[in-house]
Amino acid sequence: MADMTFAQAINDALHVAMTVDPNVISYGLGTDDPKAVFGTTSGLRKNFGEDRVFEMPTSENAMTGVGIGAALYGMRPVLVHQRLDFALLSMDQIINNAAKWHFMFGGQRSVPITIRMILGRGWGQGPTHSQNLQAIFSHIPGLKVVMASSAVDAKGLLLAAIFDPNPVIFLEHRWLHNLRGDVPPGDYRLPLGQCNVLTDGGDVTVVSSSIMTVEAQHALTFLAGHEIFCDHIDLRTVSPIDWETIRRSVRKTGRLLVADSGTATGSIAGEIIARICQDCWSDLRSPPVRLAMPDFPEGASPSLTEHYHVRAEHIASSIARMVGRRIDPDELVRRRTNPHDVPGSWFTGPF
Amino acid sequence: MSALPFLPNPGSLCALGTDILFSLKRIRSVEEEIARRYKENEMRCPIHLSIGQEAVATGVGLALKTSDLAVSGHRAHAHYLGKGGNLNVMIAELYGKVTGCARGKGGSMHLIDETVGFMGSTAIVGGTIPIGVGLAFGMKHKRTDQLTCIFLGDAAVETGVFYEAANFAALRKLPVLFVCENNLYSVYTHLRARQPAGRQIHEMVSGLGIAGSCHDGNDAQAVYDTAIEAAEAIRRGGGPRFLEFATYRWREHCGPDFDNDIGYRTEAEFLEWKALDPVAKLERELRKLGHIDDSWLDRTTRVIKAEVAAAFDAARLAPFPAADEAYKHLFSES
């Protein structure tokens, strides 16, 4: 085990993948620049050479297609976008080709491409550097969509994504890049399509992913001090979803809260609630709760983001209400020492 | 090059011109049969026929090695057959049968036969261009002597992804042969409404750093010679080449009929191009050279007719995919 940040864990996973398999290539805007995509691609070029690690033209759509073609030729490309928002230029190649190839040619060939996309937030990222569009990718059959919430998961899920035979959209929240944790050495892989049960409670089932898992952890630690104990399920893979784990928990707790970093309408949270209402209606003891972002873009000014995001205090008070308690979550707010638009003192932008 | 498996009598018919004519006639016959049977409503998918412009697919297809790879777009029957794609599974695919090249999941616009290097055609204009470049990236990475042929039309050079992909192919000097069939129309819209007057596609592409040239797309022998020369240059490490071929689609954009009466082009224009029929042209020339005679033509017609009839018969008799196939092949397990 080594203590490292989420970003270092991503970097570690890339080094391992490229060592294990000479067919892994790593490219994208910023891959080999001095900032190395927030440090996640540091050292790759030096260790694996310019044939396997390279900058690309600002051609997101074609370079996604190039990755698909290289994958069909037997390689395992890892493409990175410093913001998900930039990858929107490549939706044609992702949806019409990567997601379809295996199905539309009768199962002959799959496309083992991994596309990393970084999700922005705060520090004035504004409407087009902060979109959490996991629901859009999850809506496309044939794509796997992964959202890691810790350093160890970042490594294990990225390695699993790279060696999965199918296209995987790997979403990294920028605010998690400095999160520390113990990470196992070597080729450590976690299964895709399986949730991670973080805590075993019984009062409420809380489902979350990525940054919302961290917010929920703060909320649940606080609530445990008030004798409220929850099942906390981190999705890890937001598509396809590990329904059985969620159903099993809801059958026990009878209550479901889903926290989502995307906007509410058409969200993963909405999908989970719809499915659980259909599958576990008679188990539910109170209306499920969806906590997600408002159906507006994120504004740039700090004054516009102050109340925009779902945070630990919102999760805590919602859970308390679900179990018929009134708990003032102000302590959670007071505990926060950094300004609302940054994840911590380590982050002072620019992005 | 001459020993194509479908030749009626390879021992006596090894002259290249006759190989080209055979392939041309075969592709023409297949598509005429598709057109003839389409109104039986058993081929329940959109079809885009190449009748009139088969010389490009034929000449280029014969110039490629089997180990070379190719991708194409929605009008791909000829490219697939020219590259050596299996006729039976293509026709079965049009009929939506489980024996089809994509098990009925793709239809006419999604043809694939990896055994001969035909890596796939897709239905979004420009969609396979970067995929072809990516295949070529793999070839260069693994230092093989293969090349990738990307078939595209005049409208595909209007897509953004074409410029992006061409730029990367030029940047990395990738072994890509771009083959552009300029048939003047994108669906029902003439080139003049889509691209500036006086600008030639191959010249514009040359400006991107890819050697481009323009040729008669109805002269199958010339297409072959041009493609051979370009392929050799690419294999010598010269980077991508772009060949533009002027040609013409005889039938409607999508479907089996002629559509000169609906107002977007004239019967006179069609007749001008029809007079340049690549099949008749090569047949005339080979006859003049004494390479073929009536007996060769009779034999060829008979052989092709039998092969095409057998492909359609087999496709019609083949089973449809089972209902649960609709829910298979989403993800690969290995």
Mark yes or no for CB contact A97/B165 under 8 Å. no
Which amino acid appears at position A305 of this protein? T
Establish whether domains A2-183 and A196-335 are of one fold.
Answer: yes
CA separation for the pair B196, B183 (Å, rounded): 16
As given in the structure block, the two tokens for residue B149 are 């042929």
Task: Specify the fold of A196-335.
Answer: Rossmann fold (3.40.50)
Q: CB of B125 within 8 A of CB of B155?
A: yes
pLDDT in tens, A162-216: 999 999 999 999 999 999 999 999 999 999 999 999 999 999 999 999 999 999 9
ipTM of the complex: 0.96
Alpha carbon of B326: minimum distance to chain A alpha carbons (Å): 9
Nearest C-alpha neighbor of A31 from the set A23, A22, A19, A18: A18
Mean pLDDT of B128-135: 98
CA separation for the pair A150, A306 (Å, rounded): 25
Q: Would strands A2-5 and A180-183 be described as parallel, antiparallel, or unpaired?
A: antiparallel
As given in the structure block, the two tokens for residue B148 are 């990738």
**Tokens 């008030």 found at:** A226
Counted residue by residue, chain B has a size of 334
> What is the enclosing helix (H) or strand (E) of A347?
none
Residue B214: per-residue pLDDT: 98
Q: CB of B132 within 8 A of CB of B64?
A: no
The CATH homologous superfamily to which domain A2-183 belongs is Thiamin diphosphate (ThDP)-binding fold, Pyr/PP domains (3.40.50.970)
Q: Active-site residues of A: which are they?
A: 129
What are the chain B neighbours of A102 within 8 Å (beta carbons)? 329-332
Q: Shortest CB distance from A96 goes to which of B127, B135, B142?
A: B127
CA separation for the pair B155, B157 (Å, rounded): 5
What are the chain A neighbours of B100 within 8 Å (beta carbons)? 106
What are the chain B neighbours of A63 within 8 Å (beta carbons)? 130, 164, 168
Mark yes or no for CB contact A62/B164 under 8 Å. yes
Choose, out of A108, A110, A146, the residue to mutate when testing the contact with B (most B CBs < 10 Å): A108
* DSSP letter, residue B108: G
Between the CA of residue A68 and those of A33, A75, A199, A294, what are the distances in Å? 24, 9, 39, 35
Residue B211: per-residue pLDDT: 98
Q: Shortest CB distance from B138 goes to which of A64, A73, A142?
A: A73
Q: CB of A15 within 8 A of CB of A47?
A: yes
Q: Shortest CB distance from A165 goes to which of B110, B136, B332?
A: B332
What are the chain A neighbours of B131 within 8 Å (beta carbons)? 65-66, 68-69, 72, 97
CA separation for the pair A142, A102 (Å, rounded): 8
Domain boundaries, chain A: 2-183, 196-335
pLDDT in tens, A216-237: 999 999 999 999 999 999 999 9
pTM above 0.90, yes or no: yes
Nearest C-alpha neighbor of A8 from the set A168, A129, A182: A182
Q: Shortest CB distance from A106 goes to which of B102, B119, B128?
A: B102
Partner B contacted by A57 (CB < 8 A): yes
Alpha carbon of A161: minimum distance to chain B alpha carbons (Å): 13
pLDDT above 70 (res B15) = no
Mean pLDDT of A241-253: 98
Mark yes or no for CB contact A57/B139 under 8 Å. no
Mean per-residue pLDDT of chain B: 95
pLDDT above 90 (res B81) = yes
Q: CB of B123 within 8 A of CB of B73?
A: yes
Partner A contacted by B101 (CB < 8 A): yes
* Positive or negative torsion for Cα A10, A16, A19, A20: negative
Partner A contacted by B134 (CB < 8 A): yes
Could you count the other beta carbons within 10 Å of the beta carbon of residue A224?
13
Mark yes or no for CB contact A103/B114 under 8 Å. no
As given in the structure block, the two tokens for residue B52 are 């009139």
Q: CB of A232 within 8 A of CB of A247?
A: no
pLDDT above 60 (res A113) = yes
As given in the structure block, the two tokens for residue B71 are 């991708």
Mark yes or no for CB contact A93/B168 under 8 Å. no
* 3-class SS of residue B182: strand
Q: CB of A193 within 8 A of CB of A143?
A: no
Domains and CATH numbers, chain B: 16-250+264-319 (3.40.50.970)
pLDDT above 60 (res A314) = yes
* 3-class SS of residue B69: strand
pLDDT above 50 (res B10) = no
The answer for residues whose C-beta is within 8 angstroms of residue B188's C-beta and 6 or more apart is: B253, B262, B264, B265
Q: How far apart are the first and last CA of chain B?
A: 36
* Positive or negative torsion for Cα A183, A188, A193, A197: negative
